[in-house]
Amino acid sequence: MWVLLPAWPMVNTYTKGILGLDQREEVQQSIAVATESRAEWTARLAALPSEDIRNDAALMAHVTDTAPQIFGDNCAGCHGRGAAGGPGFPSLIDDAWLWGGNTATIMETLRVGINATHSDTRYAQMLAFGRDGLLGRDDIRIVVDYVQSLSGLEPDASAERLAAGEEIFIENCAACHGDNGAGITDMGAPNLTDGFWIYGGDDKAMFTTIHDGRQGWMPAWEGRITETDRKILALYLQGLRQETAQWPRIPLRPSRPVPASGPARACLRSPPPPSSSLSSSVRMRIWLQSHLRQNPTAPCIPPQKASRPIARRNHHAERTRIQRQWPPDPRSPARGQRHDPRRRACPAPREHPRP
């Protein structure tokens, strides 16, 4: 066998064998064949507009097969495997796009990044109104109640308090978010009238956002992801958004019901039907992440199930602490001494008089 195949190493080379097999050359040949076969449909994808690509079932099949791997290698670390985001990381399956959700805008955002080192990067920064002394703590709380009322929630605030919050909002926030709070996509200012929040929509999270400010960051992917792959990602994310938009909805917060005249997006999507193309675990993860991000106060795990492992862990820690305690507690039995359950305390060790 060693005569036929490469086997024996030498000083600068190795024995090639009679067959002349080389695994490195085989891998390079397989990569070249895959690149050639991929070039056939990537050239068509780069030339066609996004609408024509969506109408082409063969091209969309390639996008569906290729995009999850590109997304998982580059984007899932921040946005999650299902692109649902998390605290501090935006969801990519809803309609809350800072600069717009069309194909060209998504590709440009991926190319230049947000607050990145690229020369054409997008800039987005919210002032620290409380830390910089622009607003007092009481004024921030008033604005929080007003902004929550814009998104369809019903804060525990009077009409006079909401009117005062509107005045503060127009004087300090309307320059970026608009007079009605709908946001300005040219500036990357988010919409405050829907039910989507990157850092949370509860009182504490919104107070921290207004008091300390926010400045997100996304790297520029121009040097890592090609233009064709950026287009594949944009089409993939738009497909996920269309799929999740068909899911049924449930109220966002039962304690604060959304009025019938409120915006339709102030509701939380429930888990999609089994016919969805995503797996059940990914669909449930997307729903749980959205649920915790938009409704952090709602319990998602039964208390009795969550308390058992905690109690077991505490019991194990207490037993470990007793075993490692030094000097030993006189109430605990000595090592190798059997505890008598009929006595309240363990018998004290006998003291032998010195001879």
What is residue 96's predicted lDDT score, i.e. its pLDDT?
Answer: 87
What CA–CA distances, in Å, run from 18 to 8, 27, 28, 93, 239? 13, 20, 21, 57, 53
**Residue 218's beta-bridge partner residues?**
114
The pLDDT value given to residue 316: 52
Q: Which two tokens stand for residue 322?
A: 């007793």
Question: What whole-number distance in Å separates Cα of residue 212 and Cα of residue 62?
Answer: 44
């995009």: which residue's tokens?
Answer: 67
* Tens of pLDDT, residues 214-273: 998 999 999 999 999 999 999 999 988 888 766 655 444 433 443 433 433 334 444 444
Q: Over the chain (355 residues), what is each successive 10-residue block's mean pLDDT?
A: 64 68 78 83 90 91 92 92 88 88 94 94 93 94 93 83 94 92 91 88 92 92 93 92 67 40 40 49 59 53 40 48 50 50 51 54
CA distances, 21 to each of 13, 17, 18, 33 (Å): 14, 7, 8, 18
Q: How far is CA 273 from the centre of its chain?
A: 22
Contact yes or no for 218/63 (Cβ under 8 A): no
Instruction: Kindly report the length of the chain.
Output: 355
Round to whole Å and give the CA distance between 70 and 75: 8
What span, in angstroms and rounded, lies between the C-alpha atoms of 64 and 43?
17
Task: For each of the domains in the chain, give its residue range(s) and CATH number, in order of start.
Answer: 1-47 (no CATH), 125-215 (1.10.760.10)
Check residue 351 and give its pLDDT: 55
Confidence at residue 350, expressed as pLDDT on a 0 to 100 scale: 54
Strand partners, 267: 251
Alpha helices, H only, the chain: 23-47, 50-55, 57-74, 76-79, 103-112, 137-150, 159-172, 174-177, 203-212, 227-245, 280-294, 303-324
Cβ proximity of 183 and 190 under 8 Å: yes
pTM, to two decimals: 0.64
Query: For position 34, what pLDDT does the model report?
Result: 79
**Token pair 């509107």: residue:** 166
Q: pLDDT (tens digit, 9 = 90+) per residue, 62-91?
A: 999 999 999 999 999 999 988 988 888 998
Question: Six-digit token pair at 77?
Answer: 């670390």
User: What would the two tokens of residue 53 be?
Assistant: 């690509």
